[in-house]
Amino acid sequence: MNVMTAAVLKAGRGLKRDFGEVENLQVSVKGPGDFVTAADRRAEKTLFEELSRARPGYGFLMEESGAVEGSDKSHIWHIDPLDGTSNFLHGIPIFAVSVGLEREGQLVAGVVYNPASDEMFVAEKGQGAYFNNRRMRVSARKTLGESLVACGIPPLAGIERHARFQTELAAVMAKTGNIRRLGAAALDLAFVAAGRCDGYWERGIKPWDIAAGIVLVREAGGFVTDLDNGSDMLSKSAICAGNEAIHRHLLDTLRKA
Ligand code: IPD
pLDDT digits (tens, 9 = 90+) for 100-130: 999 999 999 999 999 999 999 999 999 999 9
Q: CB of 213 within 8 A of CB of 101? A: no
Indicate the top mutation candidate among 27, 197, 209 to test ligand 1's pocket, ranked by most ligand atoms within 8 A of CB: 209
CB-neighbour burial class of residue 25 (10 A; exposed 0-12, middle 13-18, buried 19+): middle
Chain centroid to CA 229: 19
Cα separation, 97 vs 115, in Å, equals 8
Q: Can you give the pLDDT at residue 183?
A: 97
Predicted confidence at residue 161, as pLDDT, reads 75
Separation between Cα atoms, residue 240 and residue 107, nearest integer Å: 16
User: What spacing in Å lies between the alpha carbon of 209 and ligand 1's midpoint?
Assistant: 7
Q: What is the pLDDT of residue 201?
A: 98
What domain range includes position 148? 144-256
Last residue of a domain, one of 112, 135, 158: 135
Atom of ligand 1 nearest to the CA of 34: 14
In this structure, are 106 and 172 located in the same domain? no
The percentage of the chain sitting over the pLDDT mark of 70, rounded to a whole number, equals 99
CA distances (Å), origin 160, targets 45, 155, 166, 227: 34, 10, 10, 16
Q: What is the mean pLDDT of residues 36-43?
A: 91
Please indicate, yes or no, whether residues 15 and 60 belong to a single structural domain of this protein: yes
Residues 119 and 230 in one domain: no
State the Cα–Cα distance between residues 42 and 90, nearest whole angstrom: 19
Please tell me the distance between residue 182's alpha carbon and the centre of ligand 1 in angstroms: 10
pLDDT digits (tens, 9 = 90+) for 217-237: 999 999 999 999 999 999 999
Protein residues whose CB sits closer than 6 Å to any atom of ligand 1: 63, 80, 83-85, 152, 183-185, 202, 205-206, 209
DSSP state at residue 24: G
Which of the four pLDDT bands, split at 50, 70 and 90, describes residue 184? Answer: very high
Q: Are residues 13 and 110 in the same domain?
A: yes
- Picking from 94, 118, 135, the residue at the C-terminal end of a domain is 135
Do 113 and 174 share a domain, yes or no?
A: no
Given pLDDT bands bounded at 50, 70 and 90, which one contains residue 157? Answer: low
Q: Looking at the 3D structure of the chain, how many domains does it have?
A: 2
For residue 171, pLDDT over 90 is answered with yes
Both 15 and 110 in one domain: the answer is: yes
Are residues 68 and 130 both part of a single domain?
A: yes
The dihedrals phi and psi of 160, each to the nearest 5 degrees, come to -65, -40
pLDDT category of residue 32 using cuts at 50, 70 and 90 = confident
Q: Which atom of ligand 1 is nearest to the CA of 83?
A: 16
* Domain shared by 87 and 180, yes or no: no
Task: Look at residue 253 in the predicted model and tell me its pLDDT.
Answer: 98
Residue located nearest, by CA, to atom 16 of ligand 1:
83
53 three-class SS: helix
- 199 and 115 within one domain: no
- Residue type for position 36: V
Distance 187 CA to ligand 1 centre (A): 10
Q: Which amino acid would we find at residue 199? A: G
Point out the domain boundary residue: 135, 166, 182.
Answer: 135
